[in-house]
Structure 1
Amino acid sequence: MNVIKDIDFDEALDQLGRDFGLNKRKKLKNISNYSLSEKTLAEHANLAKRENERKERDALRSGHGPTAEIHDQFYRDHKYLLFLFQLLAVMPVERSSPGKVTFSWRSKASIYAFCFYSLLTVVIVIVGIERIQFFQRTNKFDDYIYGILFVIFLIPHFWIPFVGWGVANDVAEYKTNWGTFQVRYYRVTGENLEFPKLKMQIVLISIGCLLCAIAFIMSLSILLEGFPLWQTSAYYHVMTMLNMNSALWYINSRGIKIASESLSRCFRNDVEVECNASMVSKYRFLWLNLSELLQALGNAYARTYSTYCLFMLFNITIALYGTLSSIIDHGFQFSFKEIGLIVDAIYCSTLLFIFCDCSHTSTLQVAQGVQDTLLSINTLAVDTPTQKEIDIFIQAIAMNPAIVSLKGYAEVNRELLTSSIGTITIYLIVLIQFKVSLLQQQSLTTH
């Protein structure tokens, strides 16, 4: 549910605009009562121009689709990423009308997703049966570890209906809210929100995700025994999906960070020109909308990234345990198997780090710039209504901390990374102790 509805936001800005315009008209009237110098005439003309521009912006409505389409630069920059998720049959949302991203079970994107997913499921089931039969052909403990890893990498495919299609409505609403926010941003600041170089970053990251997935699967096929090349066909889609999920989170966090930096810059510039209660109040509404957008990011993708984190934790733990177990049994040989497990652990750790770190860096910027500007205002030099608005704005920031929460299950920041490392360490200690106890029992029975 939106904290600030369209009608509430528009009514609040309209009222503030009327108050602001009334004050400006009084100033213009006072100016006209005196003989005007050239400098005063220039200020008068500039003031009148700004008043006309403000009236034009106030006439806009953030819930109007065609208006949102004009100002929705974020969608235009990252629509290629959304297309790739449609192509992977992971997130079948689409731009159904100007300014609106929607999801329907009967849409072309959904029908394509069902067909593609069904065909791919056949391939993955065939490979999965081969991987399970591999357990029957070996008695080595190390080979069991490798077999478990290969089966684990197939599991995310079966999560897609739950973590992808099941949250598509929430994701579509979140994407639509970006257009709404950008219209409001234009109404308050007088300029469009831009995302420099974001489109190029998305293209490069998307290509990199595909290449990294291919390189990772091929390296495991070469380094680990019992992984024939034809079976890699079932893993490319899964690894590309995992990589793209990391990229999607980075792009959304990057968008929030750019929006917060731009909002802070505009607020600082407007405060330097003229600080009044109406202006501060407008930016408070806009900042709350940005904070709401940040919270909606975590809520929309809560299922997706909760399972994503669990998968990474389990995978890293098994890979590290396999490596340590091999070292305990054979010493530091650095065989192909050990290198393959290390590559797996490093790869998954990198994806988990990107997920946690980019959220941390983006949330730091949401409140910092605006808060610094508010604290730098000389409250003795402004009137009482402005002082009250500054106090309310500071309280709003304190009561709405910039936190990305996966619907309350976890907060996505660097603390999540450190707690994950602690959890992995605890499980590794338990597993290694179990391994050592088995070796001791074996040595006692042989003697």
Structure 2
Amino acid sequence: MNKEPQSFRVYESNQNDDAEKKDDELHKGYETGDLYGPQITDKDGALLDEHDSFYHTTKSLLVLFQIMGIMPIVRVPKDAQTTKRTTFKWISKATLWAYLVWSLESIIVIRVGKERLTNFQQNTNKRFDEVIYNIIFLSILIPHFLLPVASWRHGPQVAIFKDMWTHYQLKYLKITGTPIVFPNLYILTWGLCVFSWSLSFGVILSQHYLQDDFELWHSFAYYHIIAMLDGFCSLWYINCNAFGTASKGLALNLHKALQAEQPALKLAQYRHLWVDLSHMMQQLGRAYSNMYGIYCLVIFFTTTISLYGALSEILDSGLSYKEMGLFVIVGYCMTLLFIICNEAYHATRKVGFEFAVRLLNVNLASIDRSAQREVEMFLVAIAKNPPIMNLDGFTNINRELFAAVSNCNVCGNSNMSLS
């Protein structure tokens, strides 16, 4: 194995045409079905359910979202002869329940919103930090009207994403001979479900005790909203973690492909498995683009206003316990954004860079020429299908996004507070 650092410069995009010609020549002796691995048909419905470890280990979060009325996607019956194991319909028991829950929650949200808006308009003698609090908690009510509707609107895309995971696991099993194992994911998912609601109560009740005008009954309009934000963060974390686990498992199984009777064919099948994984990461951004787009905007707006209010009050009146409430909001929002950006970065790195490094460390002298070419094609596929997580093309989710938001908040608020 070659342990020296390798460069990716030999796999520039201007070599893609030559690589594709080599690929055609290399695979002339193989059937198309062989290259893509075993085909999944409607008769495999029971197998898809049996080996859908990702669904079984993360089912608790899906059920929580269904109870909250956020994501009314449902699984088809186990005996259904279809490859579509997850579906979304505008009229179903799950969606009707979602409409009912959302409508009941809207009653208290609208009532609290009207009261806060009235207080904001009528009381002109309020302190500056109290005005900031009113603006923040009016803005936090907005996701209640946007996020569930965005989730319903993208329900078909979410169902496609879930089905991609289901199909991928069975295809992975048939090609590698081993299932994808998600260690501790079942316990982690349950823990995140409980933690999401616990954190929601903690954040909102802290505001009740830190603000004189935050009445206790107002808190009932916010619990489900904060829990929803926590839940979406948990969902993103779980998916990113699963991408890294799948990529690691595929990388660890590379030796099986190299030792197979037809290593070139096996490597081609692994390559298609990797491309499917990369496409799933891209589908995650398409399926949840509206939800996480609104999510990031709410976090950015809330953080900016909270930090501005806290810094302004500290400069004018000094630090008091009221400003601590604003810092709690800033810390909460920035933590959510950091988790989303950091996990996306790690998933992209594990599926892309680290997998490519493992391929570059393959001892080419120990395999035949056709397998060597397949390794080259594998690296070209990684270069042509980068596992970048973005919100349907609007922005890439990575550490750079977190750094940009942090710099914008710190620099912008410092200038406004000092001016």
User: Which of 284, 287, 290 is 2:277 aligned to?
Assistant: 290
- Between the aligned partners of 2:355 and 2:411, the Cα distance in structure 1 is 41
Q: Higher relative contact order at CA 8 Å, sep ≥6: structure 1 or structure 2?
A: 2
Structure 2 partner of 1:201: 188
Structure 2 partner of 1:160: 147
Instruction: Go from structure 1 to structure 2 and tell me whether the alpha carbon gap of 1:330 and 1:58 turns closer, same or farther (over 3 Å shift).
Output: closer
Deviation at 1:63, TM superposition (A): 8.2
Q: How many residues align?
A: 383
Deviation at 1:110, TM superposition (A): 0.3
Structure 2 partner of 1:90: 70
- Between the aligned partners of 2:180 and 2:42, the Cα distance in structure 1 is 14
Please tell me whether the aligned partners of residues 147 and 294 of structure 2 are also in contact (alpha carbons under 8 angstroms): no
2:100 counterpart of 1:120:
no
One-letter code aligned to 1:389: E
2:24 counterpart of 1:68:
no
Give a deviation string over 1:316-354, Cα, whole Å, max 9, x none.
1111111111012112xx322111111111111111111
- Between the aligned partners of 1:375 and 1:65, the Cα distance in structure 2 is 38
Structure 1 partner of 2:388: 403
One-letter code aligned to 2:283: A
2:117 counterpart of 1:137:
no
SS in 2 for 1:97: coil
2:233 counterpart of 1:214:
no
User: Which of 354, 359, 374 is 1:374 aligned to?
Assistant: 359
One-letter code aligned to 2:96: I
Please tell me whether the aligned partners of residues 66 and 72 of structure 2 are also in contact (alpha carbons under 8 angstroms): yes
Deviation at 1:383, TM superposition (A): 2.4
Please tell me whether the aligned partners of residues 278 and 385 of structure 2 are also in contact (alpha carbons under 8 angstroms): yes
Tell which deviates more after alignment, 320-329 or 422-431. 422-431
Q: How does 1:210-289 map to 2 (within 5 A)?
A: 210-271=197-258, 276-289=263-276
RMSD: 2.0
Please tell me whether the aligned partners of residues 268 and 373 of structure 1 are also in contact (alpha carbons under 8 angstroms): no
Choose 1 or 2 for highest CA Rg: 1
- Between the aligned partners of 2:301 and 2:415, the Cα distance in structure 1 is 14
Give a deviation string over 1:133-168, Cα, whole Å, max 9, x none.
111124232221111111111111010343211111
Give a deviation string over 1:215-235, Cα, whole Å, max 9, x none.
100000100121111111100
Instruction: Go from structure 1 to structure 2 and tell me whether the alpha carbon gap of 1:222 and 1:152 turns closer, same or farther (over 3 Å shift).
Output: same
Deviation at 1:431, TM superposition (A): 2.9
Instruction: Give me the TM-score of the superposition, normalised by structure 2.
Output: 0.87
Structure 1 partner of 2:405: 420
Please tell me whether the aligned partners of residues 257 and 263 of structure 2 are also in contact (alpha carbons under 8 angstroms): no
- Between the aligned partners of 1:12 and 1:371, the Cα distance in structure 2 is 26
Please tell me whether the aligned partners of residues 267 and 370 of structure 1 are also in contact (alpha carbons under 8 angstroms): no
Instruction: Go from structure 1 to structure 2 and tell me whether the alpha carbon gap of 1:60 and 1:295 turns closer, same or farther (over 3 Å shift).
Output: closer
- Between the aligned partners of 1:355 and 1:71, the Cα distance in structure 2 is 28
Give a deviation string over 1:386-443, Cα, whole Å, max 9, x none.
222111111111111121011111111101101111222343145325xx4xxxxxxx
SS in 1 for 2:76: strand
Tell which deviates more after alignment, 420-429 or 244-253. 420-429
SS in 1 for 2:86: strand
Tell which deviates more after alignment, 129-138 or 245-254. 129-138
Instruction: Give me the TM-score of the superposition, normalised by structure 1.
Output: 0.82
Q: How does 1:334-413 map to 2 (within 5 A)?
A: 334-413=319-398
Deviation at 1:371, TM superposition (A): 2.0
